[in-house]
Amino acid sequence: MLKKKSLIVIASPSGGGKSTVARFILDKFKMIQFSVSATTRAKRTGERNGVHYFYLTLEEFESKIKNNEFVEFETFFGNYYGTLKSEIDSAIGSGKILLFDVDVKGAFSLQKAYPEDTLLIFLAPPSLDTLKERLKKRETENEEQINIRLARAEMEMSEKDKFDFVIVNEILSDTFLAVEALIEKLCK
């Protein structure tokens, strides 16, 4: 039996399916809320502040770094991304369950800051070749950016055994069933 956790962290290499699985969890489990990260990247079409991200200027983000307001943050493709401590503390204090869609480093930072409250789930692609095909199909990045993501994916895959659970995301419906069963145990 799993101990009830307030923070469910889904991590995978880019293209590993974490956003798709996160949407499934949020649709299936209404008591779980998505943790909104902060970023300095520009809003994409249809995105809203406070829903998709907290969009901050570079100066605002760096001020929050100096004030130690982030559990974790990093730069990727020239933009900052981070998780605000205030959002997590508020959720835990009110008994909410937060879902995180983060990279491996972010997952470990959350676990370090909130060790008793964090459940780490790693979504592994069946292979790096499969991951490369998924990234190409998205058509959101050029070949150089895909290669950067694949190099990072190798590092992230080497850390998967440090997670509480590893689910190989080969057939999406099977992945959904595995995640659903895990979260049902968690929420009982």
**CATH number of the domain bearing residue 165:** 3.40.50.300
Task: Classify residue 21: in a domain, yes or no.
Answer: yes
Tally of residues, the chain: 188
CA distance to 5, 28, 103, 104, 139, per residue, from 185 (Å) = 11, 14, 24, 23, 37
- Cα–Cα distance, 10 to 27 (Å, whole number): 15
Tokens of 41: 């990247």
Domain count, the chain: 1
Specify if 69 maps to a domain.
yes
1 falls within a domain:
no
Considering the domain boundaries, does residue 2 fall inside one? no
Task: Quickly count: other Cβ atoms within 10 Å of residue 86's Cβ.
Answer: 12
pLDDT value for 2: 56
Res 1: pLDDT: 45
Q: Rounded to the nearest 5°, which phi and psi values hold at 32?
A: -95, 135
Q: State the pTM of this model.
A: 0.84
Residue 58 structure tokens: 């570079």
Which residue numbers in the chain have pLDDT < 70? Answer: 1-3, 139, 187-188
Domain assignment of residue 124, given as a range: 7-187
